[in-house]
Amino acid sequence: MIGRTPMAEVDVELPGAGLASVRVAFPGGGTGRPAGADRLDLTLGLLAWGFHGTHESEVGAFSERVRRVATAVADSPDGTLPGDAVEVATRTRGLVPVELVRWSGDRGLPRVSAALVRSAVGPVPVTIGSPAPVALAVAGLAAAIDQCAGEDADGRLALALALEGLTAWYAAAHRLTPPRDAVRSARTHAADRLRGAGRTLPPSLDDAPA
Protein backbone atom coordinates (compact mmCIF):
# COMPACT_ATOMS: atom_id res chain seq x y z
CA MET A 1 0.00 0.00 0.00
CA ILE A 2 3.07 2.22 -0.21
CA GLY A 3 2.27 5.59 -1.78
CA ARG A 4 -1.49 5.04 -1.69
CA THR A 5 -3.48 7.01 0.86
CA PRO A 6 -6.42 5.02 2.24
CA MET A 7 -9.84 6.54 1.67
CA ALA A 8 -11.54 4.20 4.15
CA GLU A 9 -10.23 1.63 6.60
CA VAL A 10 -11.51 -1.23 8.71
CA ASP A 11 -9.63 -2.58 11.71
CA VAL A 12 -10.63 -5.78 13.48
CA GLU A 13 -9.17 -6.57 16.89
CA LEU A 14 -9.05 -10.21 17.93
CA PRO A 15 -8.60 -10.03 21.71
CA GLY A 16 -9.34 -13.69 22.42
CA ALA A 17 -10.95 -16.89 21.18
CA GLY A 18 -14.34 -16.01 19.77
CA LEU A 19 -13.95 -12.29 20.48
CA ALA A 20 -13.66 -9.49 17.92
CA SER A 21 -14.15 -5.76 17.75
CA VAL A 22 -14.56 -3.72 14.60
CA ARG A 23 -13.67 -0.10 13.85
CA VAL A 24 -14.32 1.68 10.54
CA ALA A 25 -12.75 5.04 9.72
CA PHE A 26 -12.57 7.37 6.72
CA PRO A 27 -9.13 9.00 6.96
CA GLY A 28 -9.28 10.13 3.35
CA GLY A 29 -12.87 11.30 3.53
CA GLY A 30 -14.18 8.17 1.88
CA THR A 31 -14.51 7.47 -1.82
CA GLY A 32 -17.27 10.00 -2.49
CA ARG A 33 -19.90 7.27 -2.42
CA PRO A 34 -22.29 6.73 0.51
CA ALA A 35 -20.46 5.47 3.58
CA GLY A 36 -22.42 2.21 3.32
CA ALA A 37 -20.90 1.51 -0.09
CA ASP A 38 -17.38 1.93 1.28
CA ARG A 39 -18.28 -0.20 4.27
CA LEU A 40 -19.61 -2.99 2.05
CA ASP A 41 -16.40 -3.00 -0.01
CA LEU A 42 -14.29 -3.21 3.15
CA THR A 43 -16.27 -6.19 4.43
CA LEU A 44 -16.18 -7.93 1.06
CA GLY A 45 -12.51 -7.07 0.68
CA LEU A 46 -11.53 -8.76 3.94
CA LEU A 47 -13.44 -11.87 2.93
CA ALA A 48 -12.08 -11.85 -0.62
CA TRP A 49 -8.51 -11.66 0.64
CA GLY A 50 -9.37 -14.49 3.03
CA PHE A 51 -10.63 -16.60 0.13
CA HIS A 52 -7.58 -15.61 -1.91
CA GLY A 53 -5.16 -17.03 0.65
CA THR A 54 -7.16 -20.03 1.83
CA HIS A 55 -5.81 -23.41 0.75
CA GLU A 56 -7.82 -24.92 -2.08
CA SER A 57 -8.91 -27.82 0.12
CA GLU A 58 -10.48 -25.39 2.62
CA VAL A 59 -12.29 -23.06 0.20
CA GLY A 60 -15.49 -25.11 0.31
CA ALA A 61 -15.66 -24.96 4.11
CA PHE A 62 -14.99 -21.22 4.09
CA SER A 63 -17.70 -20.71 1.47
CA GLU A 64 -20.16 -22.58 3.66
CA ARG A 65 -19.34 -20.30 6.60
CA VAL A 66 -19.95 -17.21 4.47
CA ARG A 67 -23.21 -18.64 3.10
CA ARG A 68 -24.37 -19.34 6.64
CA VAL A 69 -23.76 -15.73 7.60
CA ALA A 70 -25.51 -14.53 4.43
CA THR A 71 -28.61 -16.54 5.32
CA ALA A 72 -28.59 -15.24 8.89
CA VAL A 73 -28.22 -11.64 7.68
CA ALA A 74 -31.10 -12.02 5.22
CA ASP A 75 -33.32 -13.55 7.92
CA SER A 76 -32.48 -11.01 10.64
CA PRO A 77 -35.47 -8.82 11.54
CA ASP A 78 -33.42 -6.19 13.38
CA GLY A 79 -29.73 -6.58 12.55
CA THR A 80 -28.95 -9.08 15.29
CA LEU A 81 -27.70 -12.54 14.34
CA PRO A 82 -27.99 -15.89 16.12
CA GLY A 83 -25.06 -16.60 18.43
CA ASP A 84 -23.95 -19.53 16.31
CA ALA A 85 -24.07 -17.69 12.97
CA VAL A 86 -20.27 -17.36 13.04
CA GLU A 87 -18.13 -19.85 14.93
CA VAL A 88 -14.39 -20.34 15.21
CA ALA A 89 -12.42 -23.40 16.25
CA THR A 90 -10.42 -23.25 19.47
CA ARG A 91 -7.86 -25.68 20.84
CA THR A 92 -9.56 -26.27 24.16
CA ARG A 93 -13.23 -25.37 23.73
CA GLY A 94 -14.06 -26.67 20.28
CA LEU A 95 -16.30 -24.39 18.21
CA VAL A 96 -17.24 -21.13 19.91
CA PRO A 97 -19.46 -18.32 18.58
CA VAL A 98 -17.85 -15.05 17.55
CA GLU A 99 -18.94 -12.25 19.85
CA LEU A 100 -18.43 -8.56 19.11
CA VAL A 101 -16.94 -6.62 22.01
CA ARG A 102 -15.96 -3.01 22.64
CA TRP A 103 -12.91 -1.68 20.77
CA SER A 104 -9.92 -1.38 23.14
CA GLY A 105 -7.23 0.08 20.89
CA ASP A 106 -4.61 -2.09 22.58
CA ARG A 107 -1.71 -2.27 20.13
CA GLY A 108 -0.58 -5.52 21.71
CA LEU A 109 -3.65 -7.40 20.50
CA PRO A 110 -3.82 -9.26 17.19
CA ARG A 111 -5.36 -6.99 14.59
CA VAL A 112 -6.39 -7.33 10.96
CA SER A 113 -6.72 -4.21 8.82
CA ALA A 114 -7.83 -3.43 5.30
CA ALA A 115 -8.33 -0.24 3.34
CA LEU A 116 -9.86 1.15 0.18
CA VAL A 117 -7.33 2.92 -2.01
CA ARG A 118 -7.50 4.71 -5.33
CA SER A 119 -6.57 2.85 -8.49
CA ALA A 120 -7.04 3.15 -12.23
CA VAL A 121 -10.14 0.94 -11.94
CA GLY A 122 -11.65 2.79 -8.97
CA PRO A 123 -11.50 2.07 -5.24
CA VAL A 124 -9.91 -1.31 -4.49
CA PRO A 125 -9.55 -3.17 -1.18
CA VAL A 126 -6.05 -3.94 0.06
CA THR A 127 -4.81 -5.54 3.24
CA ILE A 128 -2.42 -3.78 5.59
CA GLY A 129 0.52 -5.97 6.51
CA SER A 130 0.41 -9.71 5.82
CA PRO A 131 -2.38 -11.22 7.91
CA ALA A 132 -2.87 -14.97 7.79
CA PRO A 133 -5.83 -16.23 5.75
CA VAL A 134 -7.49 -17.64 8.89
CA ALA A 135 -7.28 -14.23 10.58
CA LEU A 136 -8.65 -12.54 7.45
CA ALA A 137 -11.56 -14.98 7.39
CA VAL A 138 -12.48 -14.32 11.02
CA ALA A 139 -12.03 -10.56 10.56
CA GLY A 140 -14.22 -10.53 7.46
CA LEU A 141 -16.98 -12.49 9.16
CA ALA A 142 -16.79 -10.19 12.21
CA ALA A 143 -17.02 -7.17 9.91
CA ALA A 144 -20.12 -8.68 8.30
CA ILE A 145 -21.76 -9.14 11.73
CA ASP A 146 -20.91 -5.56 12.68
CA GLN A 147 -22.17 -4.17 9.38
CA CYS A 148 -25.41 -6.12 9.65
CA ALA A 149 -26.10 -4.49 13.01
CA GLY A 150 -25.92 -1.02 11.47
CA GLU A 151 -28.03 -1.62 8.35
CA ASP A 152 -31.74 -1.30 7.76
CA ALA A 153 -33.72 -4.10 6.11
CA ASP A 154 -32.72 -3.05 2.57
CA GLY A 155 -29.06 -2.75 3.55
CA ARG A 156 -29.11 -6.17 5.22
CA LEU A 157 -30.58 -7.75 2.10
CA ALA A 158 -27.92 -6.11 -0.06
CA LEU A 159 -25.20 -7.38 2.29
CA ALA A 160 -26.62 -10.91 2.24
CA LEU A 161 -26.82 -10.96 -1.56
CA ALA A 162 -23.30 -9.56 -1.89
CA LEU A 163 -22.00 -12.32 0.39
CA GLU A 164 -23.87 -14.81 -1.79
CA GLY A 165 -22.22 -13.31 -4.85
CA LEU A 166 -18.79 -13.58 -3.28
CA THR A 167 -19.17 -17.31 -2.68
CA ALA A 168 -20.45 -17.76 -6.23
CA TRP A 169 -17.32 -16.06 -7.58
CA TYR A 170 -14.96 -18.35 -5.70
CA ALA A 171 -17.05 -21.43 -6.47
CA ALA A 172 -16.15 -20.77 -10.10
CA ALA A 173 -12.42 -21.13 -9.24
CA HIS A 174 -11.39 -17.50 -9.68
CA ARG A 175 -8.75 -17.61 -6.93
CA LEU A 176 -6.01 -16.51 -9.34
CA THR A 177 -7.79 -13.23 -10.11
CA PRO A 178 -7.39 -10.10 -7.95
CA PRO A 179 -9.68 -9.88 -4.89
CA ARG A 180 -10.97 -6.55 -6.28
CA ASP A 181 -12.62 -8.51 -9.12
CA ALA A 182 -14.44 -10.68 -6.58
CA VAL A 183 -15.70 -7.59 -4.75
CA ARG A 184 -16.93 -6.01 -7.97
CA SER A 185 -18.65 -9.26 -9.00
CA ALA A 186 -20.31 -9.59 -5.58
CA ARG A 187 -21.69 -6.05 -5.78
CA THR A 188 -22.98 -6.68 -9.31
CA HIS A 189 -24.60 -9.93 -8.22
CA ALA A 190 -26.44 -8.19 -5.39
CA ALA A 191 -27.58 -5.32 -7.61
CA ASP A 192 -28.80 -7.67 -10.34
CA ARG A 193 -30.78 -9.76 -7.85
CA LEU A 194 -32.43 -6.67 -6.39
CA ARG A 195 -33.23 -5.16 -9.77
CA GLY A 196 -34.63 -8.49 -10.92
CA ALA A 197 -37.01 -8.41 -7.97
CA GLY A 198 -38.04 -4.83 -8.78
CA ARG A 199 -36.31 -3.46 -5.68
CA THR A 200 -34.61 -0.08 -5.39
CA LEU A 201 -30.89 -0.29 -4.72
CA PRO A 202 -29.88 0.82 -1.22
CA PRO A 203 -26.99 3.31 -0.70
CA SER A 204 -24.48 0.48 -0.19
CA LEU A 205 -24.92 -0.43 -3.87
CA ASP A 206 -24.91 3.19 -5.02
CA ASP A 207 -22.43 2.71 -7.85
CA ALA A 208 -23.36 -0.82 -8.95
CA PRO A 209 -23.19 -1.22 -12.76
CA ALA A 210 -26.50 -0.75 -14.55
pLDDT above 70 coverage of the chain, percent: 96
- Predicted confidence (pLDDT) per residue in 102-130, tens digit: 999 898 899 999 999 988 878 899 999 88
Average pLDDT in the 142-150 region? 96
Name the residue with higher pLDDT: 92 or 188.
188
pTM of the predicted protein model? 0.93
Q: What pLDDT sits at residue 4?
A: 72
As to burial, measured by CB atoms within 10 angstroms (0-12 exposed, 13-18 middle, 19+ buried), residue 157 is buried
Instruction: Report whether pLDDT(66) > 80.
Output: yes
> Reduced to 3 DSSP states, what percent helix, strand and coil does the chain have, rounded to the nearest 5?
45, 20, 35
> Which DSSP helix (H) or strand (E) runs through 152?
none
